[in-house]
Amino acid sequence: MDGEELIASVLHKIEREKALITAASNMRQSTDNPLVQQRVDANIRDGRKNIAYLEEKMRELEIRQRNQSAGSPGQRGGPAPPPKDHGGYAGDHGDYNDPHYPQGGSGSMPSGAPFPDPRPYAPIPKARPNYTKLDLIKYDTPYLGPKIQLMLSQLEFKLSVEVQYKAGIEKMVRLYQDEGDRKSRADAEGRRIESNQKIQLLKQALKRYEDLHVDIESGDAPDDESLSSPNMRKPLTGLLTMRIHAVKDVDHAASSRFSRGPETYVVVKVEDAIKARTKATRNDRWLDEGFSMDIDKANEIELTVYDKSGDRPTPIGMLWVRISDIAEEMRRKKIETELNASGWVSADKMADGGSPRHDHPSSPMGSSHGASSGGRPGTAGHGGHHGGESTNVPPTQMIESWFALEPVGRVQLQMSFAKQLKDRRPFDIGLNRQGAVRQKKEEVHEKQGHKFVTQQFYNIMRCALCGEFLKYAAGMQCADCKYTCHKKCYSKVVTKCISKANYETDPDEEKINHRIPHRFEGFSNISANWCCHCGYLLPFGRKNAKRCSECSLTCHAQCTHLVPDFCGMTMEAANQILETLIRTKNHNKSASVSSGLSNRTLRPSGPPQPPQDNAALSYPQKPMEGPYGALPRQPSAEAVSAATNSFMTPQSPTAAAQAAQRQQIPPKSPSGSSAAAAAAAAASGLRSPQQTPTEMSRPMPPPQAPQAPQHAHYDPSAYANFPQQPPPQAMQKPQQSYPMAPPPQPAQPMPQQQQVAPPAKDEVAQAKSRIGLDHFNFLAVLGKGNFGKVMLAETKSSRKLYAIKVLKKEFIIENDEVESTKSEKRVFLIANKERHPFLLNLHACFQTETRVYFVMEYISGGDLMLHIQRGQFGLKRAQFYAAEVCLALKYFHENGVIYRDLKLDNILLTLDGHIKIADYGLCKENMWYGGTTSTFCGTPEFMGPEILLDKKYGRAVDWWAFGVLIYQMLLQQSPFRGEDEDEIYDAILADEPLYPIHMPRDSVSILQKLLTREPELRLGSGPTDAQEVMSHAFFRNINWDDIYHKRVPPPFIPTISSPTDTSNFDQEFTSVTPVLTPVQSVLSQAMQEEFRGFSYTADFA
């Protein structure tokens, strides 16, 4: 529908509403019945509200039409762009447009782009009103547009569910009729009648909203991204308290002329189970109808208003309330109460003259209501108060309002919800230590390239295979392409994971010749539609919904390239055809193999002769000739069988030694199947599937001396002698811990006993300097983590002090953290590469049979969390620490590492007053500009919104955490707080950080730009990375070269009484005796192999 047609449609809707108001006014004048007059007045009020909404849409359409005709850049964005002096990217307005504060900052700052080059200079989107889902279902909500969009989607879904429920009831009625069970049939018939009445109400309500809906793209209602985030909106458990006071403006059921009128009552359901019912009343009011209900992992409450005028009750109005929305409203009320007692305001309130600015896009919900509506409050007092002091907040606050019933009417409710929390913490506790969280690695079920993991869904999903619903249930989701299905369905999936690059090169016989691509087009989604691939409910409107014009399949815009080309065929039918094809193919293959083997004589059972030398494999000058002098494309079945048997049977000592030598090259011993396949390939003269052409032409290491068979006992020297891997930047595959083959050397005789690496004299030197557990005395426990602890130790010979991180191998393996531990070591090596002044350096790694050890430099000044709890940092001190942290993050990012766990607890203070960032356990490698990852991890108060919304994220998450860190150092409290993790996550996604009214504008500006919720608009997110942050006016007086070389005098110097003084560490840990607890379990040889190559000693150690 083009602009002219839309305007004509809106004009028609306005005229219809005016006609309805005129008719209602005439009816009011012609009757004296007070009930009729009350109902007519409600219709007139609703009509005027609808006209105001439609006239607003009309103005928006006219502005858009003028922009299109004039060819302005604001074609799709509504109003024209603001004046240029409001420009810059979305975060620039933190400087309040003061001409004395240049946008890029000044002073001793590095050369280069002050802000990222690709920053779009598009119109700054207007701030969206600050409302919640609970606000939208209130009767007097001013947000009619978003309410229409919400209710269209919700009513369409409720209608589809009710239709299915009615179909099931009708089957029950027929069943009971056939069985002759009159009582059960009558009960089912009653439920069928009630279901039919509810369907009529839902259709009536749906038509009402469809008549008001204007089909234009609008930013008023953002997608409810929490619905498609597995980590948000979990079912809640707690105590729900509700009081029902009255209903009003409802359409009562018809009653006989001489009756007293129908009796009205309300039924409350939680997840389809009746929890409460009011008394019947004839005046639509209840004096004392209060209920307390225990809620156990529930999502939604349903209230249904009934009229009873005959034998059966008739539903006349319905309301649905999400429990998480009640909990969020309670949290906001608590914040609002505390805000009223504080002198803190949101950043937009700090603009010139105190007038709020509405152009800040960093929040999904702006601050049109001011800071008192949903902003994060400060605690009582201003910037100088201690974080532990608090404002007295009433323990319980009730939500009281009139809520809209569907299709007409309203109900007055008073309700509250107290969540049941295991680890409830005071809301205003100030700064305290928090552990990091990391998404537990699920068991992966591989099927046709998909990596299916079990995922708990907290909303209605649709299976991509069978099309049935998953209602608040666990399902299977591909970790790569997000294909979602039932647990029972994933084993039936035979379509390939299309996110894989080799999809098009797979054998044709595993695909269907029905390759008709879908014709996906954008459409206006005004009903409940689900994505046919990822299973999530599609967002409302045109923004992100696609539909095939041929088969009407719907999906997200980002999922279109993942949908197979099966237009005109259901996924279930396609999978059934593919399954039949694969089954037939496998049957024919097995039949041909068995018939071929029956006509041949098997080879002798003795072991085959080994190859004469490795040169035949390393230097394939001439291909091994087959029976016809040509290289066979595939080994024969009997060759595979014989090679597999020979691999499994005992070999001669020489052959065994050579096989053992070959198996030592990769870091892990191959599985039986891959080893057998490699043996079969070797027997047929082919290279193994894992071997690249480059590897074929590369010389193999020289042969080693025969070795005795390996036993299950632990030999530390075998791991210590393993040659060290090259630096990560020099490796093509950082995960490999085995040495690459040496370059070609001139042929020369080599003794059989000679080892590959290292040379004999280097090995002796290494043996002399090898570090082990017996070199240290443990003095104290400095901290504890998920898998182990950090202890203070001194060397027995030199009495040097080190911090040793001790991790149990058993826990590392059980939690699938082997690769994470290796990655932590590689990040240490990156920090060691240039001995960065603000990163903790590693001196050595070693291992015992049960543990691995990181020997790190000992920083005795304690962490910043300890020092900020002792007293608030001033501006200069916070700025000094922030500058050093910025340079550390800059170094990490320049080496492709994102840190992901920046917090005060992980920043240590040296005795000369400088910082060192520690704990690299959550670091992620190979994260250059534009690179993304999706692991849910971090410390709750520091996690970026993109992590919480389960989106792909990049290194911009470190700059979000950097903003939280600066806020905490300046104000001694967190910008986002809550009683549990869920409340903290809600605050991060919804609340505006607040600041003391006297806070310097440069400080507010950098916090605004770092705490921008859109990662692409965040300060530091561009290709110049840290240069953007370093160029900000907050650091105007910083000379970065002096900071890097520690030429700036630190503002604070920690003190200790002796080198072994641990008073700067938590007494909870230092009071513990430093001993290694015995480990009862014994790791197998295969488990020990996981840690091969872990030992390391730094050059400077």
Confidence of residue 772 (pLDDT cuts 50, 70, 90): confident
Confidence of residue 603 (pLDDT cuts 50, 70, 90): very low
Is the peptide bond preceding residue 356 cis, with omega within 30 degrees of 0? no
Does 674 have pLDDT greater than 50? no
Q: Is residue 565 within 8 Å of residue 552, measured between CB atoms? A: no
Torsion region of 105: left, alpha or beta (phi above 0 gives left; psi -120 to 50 gives alpha): left
In three-state secondary structure terms, 742 is: coil
Gyration radius (Cα) of the chain, Å: 35
Among 308-322, 645-659, 952-966, the range of highest mean pLDDT: 952-966
**What predicted TM-score, i.e. pTM, was given to this entire model?**
0.65
pLDDT recorded at residue 374: 36
Does 1024 have pLDDT greater than 70? yes
More confident residue, 319 or 630: 319
Angle at CA of residue 1090, ends 1086 and 1092, nearest 5°: 110
Q: Is residue 1056 within 8 Å of residue 1063, measured between CB atoms? A: yes
CA distance 617 to 695: 10
pLDDT recorded at residue 803: 93
Note whether residue 311 is domain-resident. Answer: yes
Work out the average pLDDT over 909-936. Answer: 92
pLDDT recorded at residue 630: 38
> Picking from 50-54, 274-278, 650-654, 1030-1034, which range would have the lowest pLDDT averaged per residue?
650-654
pLDDT recorded at residue 661: 43
CA distance 813 to 1090: 9
pLDDT recorded at residue 72: 47
pLDDT recorded at residue 956: 94
Confidence of residue 438 (pLDDT cuts 50, 70, 90): low
Note whether residue 1024 is domain-resident. Answer: yes
C-alpha to C-alpha distances, 1033 to 323, 1000, 1012, 1017, nearest whole angstrom? 44, 11, 17, 18
pLDDT recorded at residue 239: 92
One domain, residues 280 and 411? yes
Work out the average pLDDT over 844-867. Answer: 92
pLDDT digits (tens, 9 = 90+) for 558-576: 888 888 888 888 777 777 7
Does 151 have pLDDT greater than 50? yes
C-alpha to C-alpha distances, 52 to 42, 47, 56, 77, 133, nearest whole angstrom? 16, 9, 6, 21, 22
Does 101 have pLDDT greater than 50? no
Does 748 have pLDDT greater than 70? no
One domain, residues 549 and 401? no
Q: Give me the active site residues, please.
A: 901
Confidence of residue 1050 (pLDDT cuts 50, 70, 90): very high
pLDDT recorded at residue 655: 42
Angle at CA of residue 70, ends 66 and 75, nearest 5°: 65
Tokens found for residue 875: 């501006």
More confident residue, 1071 or 421: 1071
Query: Of 440, 492, 1043, which Cα lies nearest the Cα of 786?
Result: 440
> Picking from 155-169, 637-651, 870-884, 938-952, which range would have the lowest pLDDT averaged per residue?
637-651
Note whether residue 297 is domain-resident. Answer: yes
Work out the average pLDDT over 753-763. Answer: 41
One domain, residues 891 and 1029? yes
One domain, residues 280 and 387? yes
> Picking from 191-205, 837-851, 1072-1086, which range would have the lowest pLDDT averaged per residue?
1072-1086
pLDDT recorded at residue 1065: 86
Note whether residue 766 is domain-resident. Answer: no
The count of structural domains within the chain is 3
More confident residue, 865 or 711: 865
Confidence of residue 311 (pLDDT cuts 50, 70, 90): confident
- CB count within 10 Å of CB 966 equals 23
E strands along 465-614, which residues? Answer: 469-471, 474-478, 484-485, 520-522, 545-548, 554-556
Does 390 have pLDDT greater than 50? no
Query: Of 864, 881, 1007, which Cα lies nearest the Cα of 383?
Result: 1007
Beta bridge partners of 298: 236
Does 1027 have pLDDT greater than 50? yes
Note whether residue 314 is domain-resident. Answer: yes
One domain, residues 324 and 400? yes
One domain, residues 896 and 944? yes
One domain, residues 449 and 568? yes
One domain, residues 497 and 400? no
- Domain end residue (candidates: 1022, 1044, 1066): 1044
- Domain end residue (candidates: 580, 615, 638): 580
Does 728 have pLDDT greater than 90? no
Note whether residue 249 is domain-resident. Answer: yes
Question: First vs last Cα of the chain: how many Å apart?
Answer: 73
pLDDT recorded at residue 1021: 93
> Picking from 589-603, 858-872, 894-908, 1078-1092, which range would have the lowest pLDDT averaged per residue?
589-603
Length of the chain: 1101
Note whether residue 705 is domain-resident. Answer: no
Does 286 have pLDDT greater than 60? yes
CATH of the domain at 1031: 1.10.510.10
One domain, residues 413 and 458? no
Work out the average pLDDT over 402-413. Answer: 93
In three-state secondary structure terms, 246 is: strand
Work out the average pLDDT over 58-86. Answer: 59
Does 88 have pLDDT greater than 50? no
Work out the average pLDDT over 943-971. Answer: 93
CA distance 561 to 559: 6
More confident residue, 200 or 123: 200
961 is in which domain, residue-wise? Answer: 864-1044
One domain, residues 892 and 941? yes
More confident residue, 869 or 358: 869
CA distance 1002 to 1006: 6
> Picking from 67-71, 259-263, 400-404, which range would have the lowest pLDDT averaged per residue?
67-71
CATH of the domain at 550: 3.30.60.20
CA distance 727 to 865: 33
More confident residue, 176 or 637: 176
- Domain end residue (candidates: 994, 1022, 1044): 1044
One domain, residues 331 and 464? no
State what percent of residues in the chain have pLDDT above 90: 26
CATH of the domain at 411: 2.60.40.150
Work out the average pLDDT over 285-291. Answer: 89
One domain, residues 412 and 540? no
Q: Which residues of 593-615 are buried (b: 16+ CB within 10 A; e: fewer)?
A: eeeeeeeeeeeeeeebebeeebe
284: Cβ contacts below 8 Å, ≥ 6 apart: 246, 247, 248, 250, 264
Note whether residue 597 is domain-resident. Answer: no
Work out the average pLDDT over 777-797. Answer: 86
Say if residue 297 carries a ligand binding annotation: no
More confident residue, 664 or 130: 130
